[in-house]
A and B are shown apart, each in its own frame.
Chain A
Amino acid sequence: MDDVKKAGMIALEKAVSAGASYADFRYTYTESESLSYNNGAPESVDESLDKGFGVRVIADGAWGFCSSADVTENEIIRVAEKAVEIAKASAILQTKPVELAPIEIYTDSYISSFNVDPFKISTAEKLQYLAYLDELMSQNEGIKYRNSFLDFRKINKNLLSTEGLDIHQLIVQSGAGVSVTAMRSHRERARRSYPANEGIFECKGYELLDEVDFENNIPIICQQAVALLEAEPCPSKTCDIVLDGSHVSLVIHESIGHALELDRVFGGERNFSGTSFATPEKLDNFKYASDIVSVVADATSPHGLGSFGYDDDGVKAHESDLIREGILVGYLSSRETAKRIGKLSSGAMRADGWGNVPIVRMTNTNLKPGNLTLDELISGVDDGLYMQTTSSWSIDDTRENFQFGCQIAWEIKGGKLGKMIKNPTYGGNTVSFWNSCDGIGNRSLWRVWGTPNCGKGQPGQNGRVGQGAAPVRIRNVKVGF
């Protein structure tokens, strides 16, 4: 038995002897490295090690959780007992005992797919790569600010439970991106980034860098940033819009992913992240979107940033339907929340590191691809805008009313792209927006975009999630706020 498993067994035994009817022990050891380059010089090179464990229990029918960075026997015993003390305190307000949906019990080891361990590549080589990206950006004299970054994470995670779970996972994630800013005056600027607003993040190794075409795209975004200084502002009107895939990823994230987190639906985030309009009585009968829109939660998407082997309830990763041909048919759920609607968990219970309690999070929220090319999407618009790359976002606390902005747009007239537009924004209502979707890009335009910094919960937890997206066409949208 290895040291982590021994530690887990001590924690579980102590929790049970202190009065827990259920307990799990989660240990994580995470290596991180982030590097950034700013206008020809390294801005930061940070390496980080983080380890610790958390003990989650049910005692007297209520939840308790305690965690520590100090993985020693005495501390494990203290933490397990404290978790039970906390649960018993929670119980004074518990009107009905916590119930969990059943799961299959696994003993397993999962390793995410990667070719080159980024932690075996030297810092010097990574800095050379950033210097190369910086050099590409510096070729355009109109660019005032150049930023680039690399980000790597290797997570070792063990989960043991009183139900017999014994799962180890090794997950490697990589990220990279660039952004450029052109400037006419201090208050007149234009920013472009690539491949998306926050770069690209996937469950991959260092090979990710070979798969991103910085060389051909950096000159394009530099030219666009400079041209945006002369572009016309976004008109205020109602028109059709076509959105690029990286931005559709954000729209899915905000208006579908978050809206379908079942803990939120039940009010668990009422005081902070808010609730959701997509309440349980709407399940299987609510027209969330047009018939061509189908969305799944899929923690098995190859290389998706939200992919894993098992969630932190121990549920094996799988695909589950959220919206099928426009109808709401499922939620992102945990064992506890799924039980409340008489379902099995969708396997979306995830914690940010060892020190946080698992909460319902997105995995990869994937809009299924359609059958149109980008030209076909655009050619179907008589008067509208084609928008690219997220720049701003805001959505209300029930996930209905939103306002999003992009870095760049082009006018569409008679099915053809026209002049460039700066600071394009649009707004609307989630349900009417998705019901106005009449075109989705095909498989060749589709990919899973990683979101490395999804915030939820108190204390704030950072989630790493993905959204499968292709460009979409939406009719009659209010633009130019």
Chain B
Amino acid sequence: MILRIARKEIRDLVRDGRFRWSAVIVTVLLTTSAALGWRSWRELRAEQARAQAEARNDFDEQGEKNPHAAAHYGLYVFKPKPPLSFVDPGVDPYTGVSVHLEAHRRNEVGNRPARDATALQRFGELTAASVLQLLLPLLIIFLAFPALAGEREQGTLRQVLSLGVRPGTLIWGKAVGLVVALSLIVAPVLALGVSVVVLGSAESARTWPHALAMLAGYVLYLGIFLAVALLVSMRSRTTRVALVVLLGFWILNAMIAPRLATDLARRTVPTPSSLQFTEAIRRDIKAGVDGHDPEDSRIERLKQETLKKYQAETVEDLPINFQGIALQAGEEYGNSVFDRHYGALWTAFGRQDTMRKALGFLFPTLAIRELSMALAGTDNQRSRDFAESAERYRRDLVLTLNRDLEQNGADLGFMYQAGPELWRGMPEFRYQPPALHASIQDQTMAWAALVLWLSVTVGLVCRSTRTLRVD
């Protein structure tokens, strides 16, 4: 019986001009956005690899110089674009793409691509993710709002029920029909996307499980909208009321919730201005964390300790280069200051993110947004992970150079020069993104929100079948 109702529903939909038009529009938008996303991913990927190789080459070929001068010259590293960013570019346009690794300073990952775009981007970009998150739910609403309210309005609901069809059967039939109709629209594009993911990239072994998890997330999300649409359609007297309520739900989720969450999070967990942040770091390095241990006295103490350790009278008598030791000590002090300030900043950002995820229990669109970005590797967490990884590399780099100065430059001071073998000896910087289970674990709250929403709405649909009114 369910199948018969589903078949009738599908036939109804396919004969409706609304359905055909929406199918064409959604297919075109989804294909275009994914294809362009794919193209720009490939371009950026190639460019990133090229620039990374060139930057490394510049570092290797800098000729003979003092290791500390080389540490000032430094190395640029570039953030790789994850493959699934073609589905969901996430925050990538709003985070930097490159960072200069050098001595003494922790630089921000800079050059946000969003600054090289017009204000139009702030309306929201057309991406596969935005089609899936915003347009498809709207399509579900447009197709499903008359499901029962329409039958009730026309009086056919009374007829159908009088034939002995149980309300539960009717609803499930309608649901199956809608699901099949929607799959007709989405399946071709999905097949295309899957083939791209599997065939198109060298890292498909890694991408594949992420794509699957992402798909599962979107199925849950779209299921929520279908259940809500059916629920509202069941309980509304007229199609007009059903439509207005559902549109309200969509607008609240798609348009209002993200911005509401932004301002709520900023207000609850304020972050310092860039000026305050850099000033605080500068002050702490210069005057000591508690303000009572200035840089000069730290160096003087280090000098006395080193002299005592080697039982030498003056710095010149030391068997090692004191500059190397002093520089490394300064570096380590700076690192502890960076750790403190960046730790606090990232904790604040993390709390803002958690707040947004928690709001996902109220607005499922917020939950899927976080989930989708995380699985695509384009969320805040990933950009933080990249920044930390680059910073770890910077510390290794500077440490290696300072050690060389300390051990090999004993009696030459700053006149000591090292050669290309030292530069070439540094291992390559390779960013290792976190594993799948970490990305999924990180989003426990978003998953929970989606599952909860789906089970509650489906539960309500089931309960409403018992009290279905014919008029």
Partners in one complex: no
Which of A's residues lie within 8 Å of B, judged by CB?
none
